[in-house]
Amino acid sequence: MHGANKAAFALVDCNNFYASCEKLFRPDLKYTPVVVLSNNDGCIVARSKEAKALGVKMGMPLFQAQAMIRQYGIVCFSSNYALYADLSNRVMTILEEEAPRLEVYSIDEAFLDLTGIEYVMDLLTFGKQLKAKVDKWTGITVGVGIAPTKTLAKLANEAAKRYPATGAVVDLMNPERQKRLLSLVDVSDVWGVGRRITERLRARGIRTALDLANANPRVIRSEFSVVLERTVQELNGVSCLDLELVRPTKQQIICSRSFGHRITEKQELREAIAKYTTRAAEKLRREKRLCRVVNVFIRTSPHAQGGRYGNALSVELPNPTDDTRDLLDVTEVLFCRLWRDGFRYMKGGVMLADFYEYGVYQQDLFRTNSMKTNSQALMKVVDRINHSGHGSVFFASQGVSPQWAMKRNHLSPAYTTKWEELPKVW
């Protein structure tokens, strides 16, 4: 290859991210097993190294883990997304300084484009320096996997985690090393291969990542999908997935939550739906979009012993809007049509879809413009107050002192918003 740089990606991933965030502010828990719970303290969604070693499983319902928690003195935290988002930003900022072309893939992971860096510095050395810098400046430890494709970078990152001798940094640019690692990895550990596809692959005798890499891409395409075909190419070092540098605008916005307790009163569920509508409208305005399709759903627990009920309704608005009041009008009507007496509701939510940019939509000629007077100015004020961290302006339909609010019995304090409480490392 003349003139063309060989593509190189790094995947940087924070170790046990939520649990690490909590521990950062609790040095007394340094060697204590810690878990972080999902909304409503329902499931375990993150585990510290110690908790993993004790056999606490990801996604385990809290009630099933209670015995272990007592037995081993595991410390539980309710999820505190404001804290995690803040620490994530710190990590991403440092990564961006070292490798400006980066894709923030999730709250605790980023892909970096390292193409060309090999001419300046050995990639393994670069990775080690990057890790050291993030560890030192944030107190969050990361693993780094480097490879010619994103899919291989993911595997390199897994290996960095699995083999302590690597110092949590693995350079998988070399094809021989790729083959050796692929032969050791179960096919289910490949990025993009989930439970279903694993089963189907196994039925065809494809068990390791190397088996999948050696499969015929055309056959994989016809028997599975173009998605899996790309995976095969990527495992062979042919890059098919580029960095997504600019976050594509959302196609839909969902606000839903399981309730802190089962809801049987219509008014209570109505308030919850209004609250989700309000939150969805905020997200919509942050995206700088108008929406045209609104969907509301409510349901009982799928595990409910008594009657089960679940239903959803959508409506298309005459004109796209981002006005909370327009959306509340609509979700209220949909909710009333969905509601049935006599069930114990567990969950409800609001979904917005069919987005438009400001001023770029076809007016409905047979209706007057439904945008309310001064709507933009008013919504801006409401958003500003709600993001100021002091109290909130809310719409009366949300109710004043909601009974349905999330259970968060183990919430950590708002560390990162109070300067005095920041740990020394910062």
Q: Tokens 């279903």 — which residue?
A: 196
Q: Residues 14-43: x/- map of binding to DNA (CB under 7 A)?
A: ------------------------xxx-xx
| Strand arrangement, sheet containing 169-171 | 102-106, 109-113, 9-14, 142-147, 169-171
Among the listed residues 2, 195, 390, 418, the single contact to DNA using CB under 7 A: 195
Minimum CB distance to DNA, residue 346 (Å): 6
- What is the torsion angle, in degrees rounded to the nearest 10, for the CA atoms of residue 385, residue 390, residue 395 and residue 398? 140
Q: Up-side HSE of residue 261: CA atoms within 13 Å toward CB?
A: 6
**Taking CB under 7 A as the rule, does residue 283 contact DNA?**
yes
239 Cα distance to chain centroid: 24
**Taking CB under 7 A as the rule, does residue 347 contact DNA?**
yes
Whether 410 contacts 77, CB under 8 Å: yes
Residue closer to DNA (CB basis): 129 or 356: 356
Residue closer to DNA (CB basis): 11 or 117: 11
User: What letter does residue 377 receive in the DSSP assignment?
Assistant: H
**Taking CB under 7 A as the rule, does residue 253 contact DNA?**
yes
Residue closer to DNA (CB basis): 194 or 307: 194
Minimum CB distance to DNA, residue 256 (Å): 4
**Taking CB under 7 A as the rule, does residue 264 contact DNA?**
no
241: helix, coil or strand?
A: coil
Rounded to whole angstroms, the Cα distance separating 375 from 325 reads 9
Window 209 to 238, contacts with DNA (CB under 7 A): 225-227
Window 394 to 423, contacts with DNA (CB under 7 A): none
The CA-CA-CA angle for residues 145, 151, 154, to 5°, reads 30
Minimum CB distance to DNA, residue 365 (Å): 18
Binding segment for DNA among 119-127, 255-263, 359-367, 385-393 (CB under 7 A)?
255-263
Q: Tokens 């070292």 — which residue?
A: 98
Residue closer to DNA (CB basis): 200 or 384: 200
Q: Tokens 């090999």 — which residue?
A: 118
**In terms of Cα–Cα distance, which of 237, 11, 23, 32 is closest to 144?**
11
**Taking CB under 7 A as the rule, does residue 107 contact DNA?**
yes
Among the listed residues 152, 156, 197, 290, the single contact to DNA using CB under 7 A: 197
In 10 A of CB 358, how many CB atoms? Answer: 11
Among the listed residues 5, 27, 30, 63, the single contact to DNA using CB under 7 A: 63
Amino acid at 239: S
Residue closer to DNA (CB basis): 123 or 346: 346
Minimum CB distance to DNA, residue 268 (Å): 16
Among the listed residues 25, 32, 45, 128, the single contact to DNA using CB under 7 A: 45
Q: Read off φ and ψ for residue 10, nearest 5 degrees.
A: -120, 140
Among the listed residues 114, 147, 193, 338, the single contact to DNA using CB under 7 A: 193
Structure tokens at 5: 């740089």
Residue closer to DNA (CB basis): 132 or 226: 226
Whether 212 contacts 231, CB under 8 Å: yes
Binding site for DNA (CB under 7 A): 38-40, 42-43, 45, 59, 61, 63, 105-109, 154, 190-198, 225-227, 248, 250-258, 262, 283, 301, 303, 346-347, 349
